Structure 1
Amino acid sequence: MANEVLEELAQIFRAASKKMSALVSFLMHHKDASSIGAIAGFAIALVCTWRYMRSSNPVRRPKPTVKVEAPSSSSSDSTSGSSTAIESRGSQARQRGVAIQEAPLSKLTLAQSVKRQLKGGRKVTCQLLGVVLQENSTADLENHAVVRPAAADVLLELAQCCDLYLMSRVNDDASEEAILAALDQIGLFSKANFNRNKVLFCSSEAGRCSFVRQLEPDWHIDTSVDIVNQLARYIHHELLISPAPLGSMPSNVLETNTLESYFDCR
């Protein structure tokens, strides 16, 4: 389309040139001011037309060719070598990740294991009878009180990493003294710097349940199914210590056979 327009303009320019020649020869015989002005105006028109034609059809210069050289074998080798090194490092990282996923618990300390099992909980209430102590009833406390050796280390870690409260049902003051002496013997008050006032005593199961309700812990550990069920609406996590799984427990109640079997998962 543009070429056709340019061709037409060229024809007009040639025709105008012929007429211009005739007009110039005519005006040369009739020299006056008006004829000279006409010649000048016509000449200007021709110049403008010629410039427009040149601008409409600019000369296209050839684009410089860029020579692309193939990469040398040395650069190719270095590139492949770096990619191989990256893949090797990625493979090593994946292998380390797999190793961590396969056996993470074996690398935990007891303190890390206890914190892991608390799931972010900070306040814990725990029954002593049948959980920390070898004795399971108040009648057994009349003769002696002994901390279970397997539970001793876990108890010390709980005392140091969270706000721990221990509670037990007793029949008399002598039983209280026996329990305090047993806890002192494993270093609870010296090594863990545990406050003696956080060892609470009561005379009934209802009293222990009331203690827990008032303290509002994140975790409660107990052996009584009745108390665990009563507290399930109020406590976020509960751990039921039972020799055998009972089933049909609230969703926030976990079952285990001993204290250490839950917290010491190394």
Structure 2
Amino acid sequence: MSLSVPQNGVKADSEPVIELFVKAGSDGESIGNCPFSQRLFMILWLKGVVFNVTTVDLKRKPADLQNLAPGTHPPFITFNGEVKTDVNKIEEFLEDVLSPPKLFMILWLKGVVFNVTTVDLKRPLTGGNWPKAIFAAALERGLLKTLQKLDEYLRSPLPDEIDHNSIEDVKVSNRKFLDGDEMTLADCNLLPKLHIVKVVTKKYRGFEIPKEMTGIWKYLNNAYTREEFTNTCPSDNEIEIAYADVAKRLVK
């Protein structure tokens, strides 16, 4: 499937020709489960440029795409005909050539690492030789600990929310996203993975993010109101299908 995503009206002749290739879903056409694909999709959308999106069925990868990027799986992009395949380098490249707007996080976020962004979802869904009940309990404790750190950060006011000349003490942040009220590259990285964690653990573990974690739920709900996230996100069913085999191995 190929679609055009115009953000700023009619494409000007001076604008670059950009095509994003992402993993296709189980039907071979819809958007598939791939947080790296969604990450680049969100970045391009937030940049406000015109670009084409092509979903690639990995089971029947067309010959022209094999010739375009041999040995490479989505996501990758072509920028004025030049193929770029490394996700991190693509992110840096787009931030450099398609600005403003700049999407890099503000300095106070640098050095803040959320373990949830690197959660290996196969580990939560496979117990190895561990007794299932013990592993499930250990998983829940570890995941809860990680989510608690994220929740605490999201609820804590950022420096620019604190007025040191005011007698009122700001205890809870009112921001919508990690770095403020607008999405940044950090959100493009975190939100797809956090959403996958939410969907997969509920489906196959019966685990739900506690409602008491108001910072995380506010963050997710704000994302669900933004087309940059919802229009680039695979369906819950696609996410569940992607981990169905792992879940089957769990119960054997």
TM-score range, shorter chain: under 0.3
Structure with the largest fraction of helix: 1
Structure (1 or 2) with the larger CA radius of gyration: 1
Task: Give the TM-score of the pair, scaled to structure 2.
Answer: 0.24
